[in-house]
Amino acid sequence: MLLAMVEHPPAFGMRVKSVDDRAARAMPGIQDVFIIKTLEDGYERNAFDTTSFTELVAIVGKTTWEVMNAKKALKIEWEPDVEKQVVVSGWTGKQTVKIPAGLESTADHQAKMTERAKQPGKIERRDGDPETAFRQAARVIERTYTAPFLAHNTMEPVSCYAHVTADQAEIYGPIQAPEFIVRTLAARLALPKEKVKIRLARMGGGFGLRAYGHHMVEAAVISQKLNAPVKLVYTREDDMTYGIYRPTYTATYRAALDAENRLLALHVKAGGIPESPLHANRFPAGAIDNYLAESWEIDSNITIGAFRAPRSNFIASAEQCFLDELAEAMGKDPIDFRIELLDRARRQPVGKNNDYDAERYAGVLKLVREKSNWNASQGKKTNVFRGVSAYFCHNTYVAEVIDLVVKNKKPVVQKVTAAVDCGIVVNRDAAINMAQGGIVDGIGNALYGELTFRNGKPSKSNFNTYRMIRHSEAPKAVDVHFVDNQMDPTGLGEPLFPPVFAAMANAMYKATSRRFYTQPFLKQWDQNMG
């Protein structure tokens, strides 16, 4: 078996121009250096063929250390890539995706999103007459929320073993959805699909990243060229700068109130680079007579993909932060306000496409109110500040309450209480473990998660600069309660993650008296407490 590594362009929007590999080839243990092409021109991609760079430099040798050193000795000249269009066969059929040229930067992204958000979006849902309601409102509350790109940063970088012969391919590696990559491998290797065998390894973390099989294609192409078994290894820097990130998003919420602080209308306009996070038919749609939901998106060559609870992981935060602030403006308890809206959606639903069960949704809010002892003393006297959030995604209903304390001017999560309706709980220990993991992951990303770009280059490439939550920062207790019913079981890997962001922001507001609109939240916290 040979060891292989790849070198990809240092920035999105660039490609290989030339390679001087003389120094690398002369180093001990090095077998070969060559350019590989992972996807052929004109190949019709599937939804999980999100490949950031289709041309890479492969370095092959006898040991990992020798290959690592040879990789550093390569002299590669890069050049600007050109605009492309690729056909993707996804969940809703075929579509042509534009991949623009150019070197993108976070500052440019922010300016573009700000400007685009001012323009009309694509209307995804309209109930009643929201425009008239806003014109007649005694008061309009408007807030904008933003979040950056995020890297998956799984515990172990991707790796893969491949042995491709003339009549079959054997692949051994970590992947979440092997069935989606079989077609890609078969097409690229010119083999029948039944001759491509994928054996699963433990993932070392997935969170959506390992739904994509670029590493398997790379290992297979290298093995086929060399006619030898190959193990492909990524460094942490390779993994963090390769792409397939959580997109950057923004959402603006507006609420119209009458003179008696009753809610007349709600308007959400949400977009991002390169996709919108909007779920137009989710709560509070169906609970408000006058409701408008718009979406928009901006093309990008920075590759994105599934990230724990895709799209929900941002829009839940924006929505639930806004509902909290709206409840305060209306003089209502935040849990009571949400339950009132859900009661309306249950008794007299607006529209026919509401994709949630209002009674089950309200059920987790009532349960978390009870189990968290929501009405207990809180505030500066006790140094306990509480925030609540609730969300429905992946067919599971979740409500969470965070108990936050302030120590040395830093937010410390003392306890998280979660109420979960996922139907029948098959394995309670595993279910609790999944819930705890999603909560800890959410707190870490809410406080610290951020990836920025300058001239197409990711600003961070390892954990010395990309901040992750640490053991000492995890909640001191996570109390998980399941609704006991006989509904069909759903899932827990993703639904506990989205509500955490808003529960954290709402608790931080109680501690600082300032709302948090931009992730990661710790930056604004430090400014407030400084």
495: Cβ–Cβ under 8 A, 6 or more apart, which residues?
309, 391, 392, 393, 394, 396, 397, 398, 420, 422, 438
Do 257 and 225 have their domain in common? no
Whether residue 235 is found in the same domain as residue 283: no
User: The CATH number of the domain where 47 resides is what?
Assistant: 3.30.365.10
Question: Residue 210: inside a domain, yes or no?
Answer: yes
Q: Is 429 left (phi over 0), alpha (psi -120 to 50) or beta?
A: alpha
194, 209, 241 — which closes off a domain? 241
> Is the four-CA dihedral 340, 341, 342, 347 of positive or negative sign?
positive
Question: HSE on the CB side for 486, CA within 13 Å?
Answer: 0
Q: What integer pLDDT is reported at residue 378 of this predicted model?
A: 82
In angstroms, rounded to a whole number, what is the distance separating the alpha carbons of residues 153 and 466?
Answer: 9
Which domain range does residue 357 map to? Answer: 248-529
CA–CA separation, 390 and 361 (whole Å): 8
Counts for the chain of helices (H) and strands (E), in that order: 13, 23
Distance of CA 226 to the CA centre of its chain: 37
Judge whether 143 lies within some domain. Answer: no
User: Which H or E element spans position 169?
Assistant: strand 169-173
**Can you give the pLDDT at residue 249?**
98
pLDDT in tens, the chain (530 residues): 999 999 999 999 999 999 999 999 999 999 999 999 999 988 999 889 987 899 999 999 999 999 999 999 999 999 999 999 999 987 778 999 999 999 999 999 999 999 999 999 999 999 999 999 999 999 999 999 999 999 999 999 999 999 999 999 999 999 998 988 999 999 999 999 999 999 999 888 899 999 999 999 999 999 999 999 999 999 999 999 999 999 999 999 999 999 999 999 999 999 999 999 999 999 999 999 999 999 999 999 999 999 999 999 999 999 999 999 999 999 999 999 999 999 999 999 999 899 999 999 999 999 999 999 999 878 888 899 999 999 999 999 999 999 999 999 999 999 999 999 999 999 999 999 999 999 999 999 999 999 999 999 999 999 999 999 999 999 999 999 999 999 999 989 999 999 999 999 999 999 999 999 999 999 999 988 86
Q: In what order do the strands lie in the sheet with 30-37?
A: 30-37, 55-61, 2-7, 230-233, 159-164, 169-173, 196-200
Same domain, 178 and 297: no
**One domain for residues 201 and 309:** no
**Residue (of 281, 486, 257) closest to 268 by Cα position:** 281
Per the structure, how many domains does the chain have? 2
Taking the CA atoms of 172, 37, 91 and 280 in sequence, report the sign of the dihedral they define.
positive
Of 207, 226, 241, the domain-final residue: 241
Query: What one-character-per-residue DSSP string does 355-406 give?
Result: -S-HHHHHHHHHHHHHHTTTTS--BTTTTBEEEEEEEEETTEEEEEEEEEEE
Q: Is residue 151 part of a domain?
A: no
Q: Would residue 132 count as lying in a domain?
A: no
Q: Are 432 and 484 part of one and the same domain?
A: yes
Residue 307's pLDDT is 96
Same domain? 203 vs 253 = no
Q: Given the structure tokens 């121009």, which residue do they identify?
A: 17
pLDDT of residue 414: 97
Contact 13, 99 (CB under 8 A): no
Copy the structure tokens of residue 244: 């397939």
**Are 321 and 354 part of one and the same domain?**
yes
- Rounded to the nearest 10°, the torsion over CA 81, 275, 394, 208 is 20
Considering the domain architecture, whether residues 227 and 267 belong to the same structural domain is answered as: no
65 domain residue, yes or no: yes
263 and 225 belong to one structural domain: no
Query: Packing angle between helix 358-371 and helix 334-347, nearest 10 degrees?
Result: 160
Considering the domain architecture, whether residues 176 and 304 belong to the same structural domain is answered as no
Residue 112: the pLDDT is 98
Q: Give the pLDDT of residue 399.
A: 98
445 and 368 housed in the same domain = yes
Question: Does residue 135 form part of some domain?
Answer: no
Is the overall model pTM greater than 0.85, yes or no? yes
Query: Is 107 within the bounds of a domain?
Result: no
Pair 216, 258 in one domain:
no
